[in-house]
């Protein structure tokens, strides 16, 4: 996808939300010229390298600007979102956008990047190692000459009759 797909995304919106998105897009492109914009999961986002840094999505009530590492920006206006590092802010009108704050946030987005791709690779590698260790353990147990421990079902036998508790009457009867 290309920046043209972002234009198509913005062009499909109502004029109010389209104006907000276009203003955000111009600011993002100006402050983050090294970022690559494209549609990702059907929303416009900007990647720095292979990691997503910033994006926006049109909602019923306005536009949500999202920073993937925004919780680390130490900016009170940005609201934490989700279980990762994302923080966001909502805009209903282009006049709500404070250009100096937005530029500061975008600069932080360009330098404080969550290494999402690296974390994903590390997670996949850890899972692969665990699976290969389990496979090696299973293969070792199946080697000829070595018997694998096999669990057998419990023996089925008649249960022993339970001893009846002595009652006072029985105890007195036996004494006589």
* Alpha carbons 112 and 45: distance in angstroms, whole number: 16
pLDDT range class, residue 165, cuts 50, 70, 90: low
Burial state string for 141-165 with b = 16 or more CB within 10 A and e = fewer than 16: eeeeeeeeeeeeeeeeeeeeeeeee
3-state DSSP percent of the chain in helix, strand and coil, to 5: 45, 20, 35
List the domains of the chain with CATH numbers: 3-113 (3.90.1150.200)
Q: What is the pLDDT of residues 96-144, one digit of tens each?
A: 999 999 999 999 888 866 666 666 677 788 888 888 888 888 777 776 6
Question: What is the model's pLDDT at position 1?
Answer: 41
Residue range 148-161: mean pLDDT, rounded: 59
Residue 63 has pLDDT above 90, yes or no: yes
Could you read off the pLDDT of 79-101 as tens digits, one per residue? 988 767 889 999 999 999 999 99
């Amino acid at each position: 996808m290309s920046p043209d797909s972002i234009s198509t995304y913005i062009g499909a919106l109502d004029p109010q939300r389209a104006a907000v998105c276009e203003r955000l897009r111009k600011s993002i492109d100006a402050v983050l010229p090294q970022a690559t914009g494209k549609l990702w999961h059907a929303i416009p986002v900007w990647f720095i390298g292979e990691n997503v840094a910033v994006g926006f999505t049109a909602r019923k009530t306005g536009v949500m600007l999202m920073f993937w590492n925004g919780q680390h920006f130490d900016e009170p206006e940005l609201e934490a979102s989700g279980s990762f590092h994302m923080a966001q802010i909502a805009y209903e009108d282009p006049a709500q956008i404070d250009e100096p704050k937005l530029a500061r946030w975008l600069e932080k987005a360009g330098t404080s990047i969550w290494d999402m791709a690296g974390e994903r690779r590390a997670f996949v590698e850890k899972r692969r190692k665990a699976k290969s260790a389990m496979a090696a353990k299973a293969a070792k147990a199946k080697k000829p000459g070595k018997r694998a421990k096999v669990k057998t079902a419990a023996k089925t036998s008649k249960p022993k009759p339970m001893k009846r508790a002595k009652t006072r009457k029985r105890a007195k009867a036996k004494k006589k």
